[in-house]
A and B are shown apart, each in its own frame.
Chain A
Amino acid sequence: MKKLVLKRLLQLIPMLIGMSFVSFIIIQSSPGDYFAQMKMNPEISPETIESMKVNFGLDRPILVQYLLWLKNMCKLDFGVSFAYHIPVRTLIKFRLKNTICLAIFSLVISWVIALPLAVFAGYREGTFIDKIFSMLAYLSISLPSFFVALLFVYFISKTNLLPLGGTRSIFEVDASSFALFKDYMEHLLVPGLVLCLVNVGGLFRLMKNNFIETFNTPYVLAAWARGVPRNSVIFKHALRNALNPMFTILGMEIGGILNGAALTEIICGWPGMGSLILEAVLSHDLYLVMGSLVISGFLLIVGNLIGDILIAFFDPRIRIS
């Protein structure tokens, strides 16, 4: 187990280097850069721009630029954002926190809703209630997240039920931490529920299919044949085995939180990584793009690692081989 984790963490290094190298080359060889926009601005002299370029090391060849960036990366120095003029690390830290809170919220809620319903419906496969759930799940799967987000935003702006955009409305210095937390959660609710709604159908369907599949396995038949009580057959044998492939899904969902939430974050005005990456890419804010890419690659690999560790932990066939 320890070996597995160590091996995977070591694999992470060449993967991150390879990924960042390719991205760096692509960004730097695509037409236009951040300074091209600055040149349009008559208030900034060409000399200023040139000195900025030298400061950022951008007058050197691309490969040297990359190696410099990589060297700084090893010291966890992500560079400075052209647009914000503050370290990329500070920027990402704040935004990443918001994205992770959003992801954890939507992940927990959608799993807590989807899994029990899937077992409930899977056990009653083909009945009226199962068909209703399947229809709702189908709806959730087929609605695009931006559409649901727009609907929510429209609805909330009409009713003013919840605050929209940003993470806080309380700015008093003496506000209690509970009030601050409550305020944060209220802001989180709109994008969080949107993500839940989009996620829950697919999860339900996956879990239901897993459950039905394991419910029809020979070892479940054998458990019935041994006179094992119904609840044990369902929750011990069928459910436990049906959960196994879900660990991989969980890992994938953790790994994909940046991509999964981006559109929703932008539409709901949630200051997470999504809008940050979008702005950075549009304005060729090189180090910000690179920093975000490294973070998203890191999350992807760590997410999958978590999935693998969970499977290894819960499946003796992998744990003891």
Chain B
Amino acid sequence: MCLTQKTGEMEQILEVKNLSVLRVEKTESISILNDINFMVKKGEMFCLVGESGSGKTTLALSIIKLLPKSFKIASGEILINGKNILEINEQSMRNIRGKDISIIFQDPSAYLDPLFTIGSHLQESYHGKNENKKELISLALQEVGLDSEVQTVYPHQLSGGQQQRVMIAMALINKPSIIIADEPTTALDVLTTRQVIDLLNAIRLKHNPAIFFITHDLELAMKTGTRIGIMYRGHIVEIFKPGREKPSHPYANILLGTIEGKDTILELNFKKNTMDSKQMQQKCPFFDMCVEKEARCKKTIPFVWCDSETGIRCLKNGRNTQV
């Protein structure tokens, strides 16, 4: 039922193929991302869910080619609108950033330069022609529900929610085809979180950019995502469509259990994980904690696509299709 090759091309904004990222230290290199495969299509809200340290931010930074110096992309392809950005130079990449792809970060106050006004931030974010700059900036602010007067103000004079709205205004000002949102609501309270999510969704429905939404909150992802990727220790272990099917990877099931209140499974999660990166590449990353493991799980498990949109990295890949 599952295919090793995915079929059916749709409008793919972002496609990541066999991406592996290492962190190079003095004596050794540690595998941070391992054979990542996924794509994000036009206008969809793709949610990436994973626990802290699973490599979500690393993946986001890989996509805009802004990894810290110690990180190296070992292999793979990252296609934005069909162009492999790993093969283009820094100057061309700068033309893509903010224009075709933009990103919103976790803690907005840290990502706004304290010495410059909101207006100055917006102006340098805009890459288009100068004539309609002013109107477009006001329009972008209006779109995120902020007054045009906010331009004269400095970042520290705004609340966290307002700052995040400014980040969103900057992200959408050039009408990018994809917006990456890396845990954009983690630093915000529940109500502001709701507002920011609604805003992102409204923008998606109006301008049709794809949104690559990173979160550690599966419940939130289930509510808002059109597709969900589950990440575990540098691997995407499953991609599924909420509403159409339940995830079937054992780790995804554990995550689902936590939001359904099955605390028996939670204990498993706290068990110390003792695998090092070399072993991790050889066997299933979830091997030590998996309750359903078999002897054959001790070899490399590839990610396989079940259809054009969903896939899994598990030998037990008979997908549960009831809603």
Contacts and interface: CB of A to CB of B under 8 A. Distances in A.
Contacts of B107: 218
Contacts of B170: 226
Given A316-B154, A317-B156, A227 B127 contact: yes
Given A225-B66, A226-B124, A230-B94, A218 B111 contact: yes
Contacts of B95: 227
Contact of B105 (A222, A241, A316): A222
B103 A225 contact: yes
Contacts of A218: 105, 107, 110-111
Contacts of A226: 97-98, 102, 124-125, 170
B24 to A, nearest CB: 13
A157 interface: no
B70 to A, nearest CB: 11
A249 B107 CA distance: 30
B112 interface: yes
Nearest to B98: A227
Contacts of A281: none
B98 A241 contact: no
A219 B154 CA distance: 14
B102 A240 contact: no
Interface in B113-128: 113-116, 124-125, 127
A320 B66 contact: no
Contact of B94 (A229, A314, A316, A317): A229
A227 B115 contact: no
B235 interface: no
B66 A224 contact: yes
A226 B99 CA distance: 8
B112 A219 contact: yes
B124 A228 contact: yes
Interface in A223-238: 223-230, 232, 236-237
A237 B113 contact: yes
B64 interface: yes
Given A222-B111, A223-B113, A314-B115, A320 B96 contact: no
Interface residues of B, number: 27
Contacts of B114: 219, 241, 315-317
Nearest to A224: B66
A240 B116 CA distance: 10
Contacts of A221: 66, 111
B157 interface: yes
A25 B94 CA distance: 67
Given A232-B124, A316-B154, A227 B99 contact: yes
Contacts of A169: none
Contacts of A315: 114-115
Interface in A171-203: none
A121 to B, nearest CB: 16
Contact of B111 (A219, A228, A229): A219
A90 interface: no
A241 B115 contact: yes
A11 interface: no
A222 B64 CA distance: 11
A203 to B, nearest CB: 21
Contact of A225 (B97, B113, B157): B97
Given A219-B110, A219-B114, A320 B97 contact: no
Contacts of A316: 114-115, 154, 156
A233 B99 CA distance: 17
Interface string A274-290: 00000000000000000
Contacts of A230: 94
Contact of A222 (B94, B112, B154, B156): B112
Contacts of B105: 218, 222
24 contacts: A217-B110, A218-B107, A218-B111, A219-B110, A219-B111, A219-B114, A222-B105, A222-B112, A222-B167, A223-B113, A223-B124, A225-B66, A226-B97, A227-B94, A227-B95, A227-B97, A227-B98, A228-B125, A236-B116, A316-B114, A316-B154, A316-B156, A317-B114, A320-B156
Interface of A: 217-230, 232, 236-237, 240-241, 244, 314-317, 320
Q: Which 9 A-B pairs have the closest CB atoms?
A: A227-B98, A227-B97, A222-B111, A226-B98, A218-B110, A316-B154, A219-B113, A218-B111, A226-B125
